[in-house]
Chains A and B, each alone.
Chain A
Amino acid sequence: EAGVTQFPSHSVIEKGQTVTLRCDPISGHDNLYWYRRVMGKEIKFLLHFVKESKQDESGMPNNRFLAERTGGTYSTLKVQPAELEDSGVYFCASSPRQGAYNEQFFGPGTRLTVL
């Protein structure tokens, strides 16, 4: 079974440009999460989809970030316009069911560098 995949693995852009990150969860997983790790700090939650609906977007830093999950399959996270402080590693995770017990399966992350 394929794991969570993320594209691209690395992205280098200039301040003010737009970048779109993609996440493909494990097939059949309704729950999809975005997290990011900035400058070697803790990994922080951004948002959670259940199918195509945003269940919790309390971690989204500001309105420059837009996440979508059309059709409840893959998800995209767009940063527009990107700022220097957006640099970091963006992780996507998925799980088959809700509930605090359930494990989240993580992808390899996308390393975003904003110059």
Chain B
Amino acid sequence: AQKVTQAQTEISVVEKEDVTLDCVYETRDTTYYLFWYKQPPSGELVFLIRRNSFDEQNEISGRYSWNFQKSTSSFNFTITASQVVDSAVYFCALRGSGGYNKLIFGAGTRLAVHP
């Protein structure tokens, strides 16, 4: 079975703090893909990153960074120097090599960044 767990339901930080959103996944596939999406107040899901199971290099994009560790089945997301505009719900998702491409989502983490 495939599953994504985002244990943090809500996180509240003050602007400029660093914050890490946790994502743990389960899959028996050897080839799979992991995603992060952001859902701002406007409602749409905005793609942030895709990572395949053979690429464990961490990635940095501006204030965003992702730490993929197969040994712990985790794909954590860190926002450095958070800003109010980062306030949103963040979803981690998994897509296996079978299953016709459907995404398996976690329950999401609501991040509130206060000025």
Contact = CB atoms under 8 A, between A and B. Distances in A.
- Binding between chains A and B: yes
Interface of A: 3-4, 9, 31, 33, 35, 40-45, 48, 55-56, 58-59, 89, 91, 93, 95, 98-109
A101 B33 contact: yes
Most chain B CB within a 10 A radius of its CB, from A31, A100, A108: A100
A91 B102 contact: no
Contact of B31 (A93, A100, A107): A100
Interface string B67-84: 000000000000000000
B103 interface: yes
A44 B4 CA distance: 11
A90 to B, nearest CB: 11
Q: How large is the interface on B (under 10, 10 to 19, 20 to 34, 35 or more residues)?
A: 20 to 34
Interface of B: 4, 31-33, 35, 37, 42-47, 50, 52, 91, 93, 95-97, 99-108
A40 to B, nearest CB: 7
B50 A42 contact: no
B100 to A, nearest CB: 4
Question: Counting chain A CB atoms within 10 Å of each CB, which of B33, B46, B50, B105 scores highest?
Answer: B105
A40 B97 CA distance: 27
Interface of A is mostly: loop
20 contacts: A9-B43, A31-B101, A33-B101, A33-B103, A42-B106, A43-B45, A43-B103, A48-B102, A56-B100, A89-B43, A95-B101, A100-B31, A100-B96, A100-B97, A102-B101, A103-B35, A103-B50, A106-B44, A106-B47, A109-B43
B43 A42 contact: no
Contacts of B101: 31, 33, 48, 95, 98-100, 102, 104
Contacts of A93: 45
Most buried by A among B45, B50, B93: B45
Given A56-B99, A59-B102, A103-B50, A41 B107 contact: yes
A35 to B, nearest CB: 7
Given A105-B47, A107-B44, A100 B105 contact: no
Given A9-B43, A48-B100, A89-B43, 17 more contacts: A35-B103, A41-B107, A42-B107, A43-B105, A43-B108, A45-B103, A48-B101, A48-B102, A55-B100, A56-B100, A59-B102, A100-B32, A103-B35, A104-B103, A106-B44, A106-B46, A107-B44
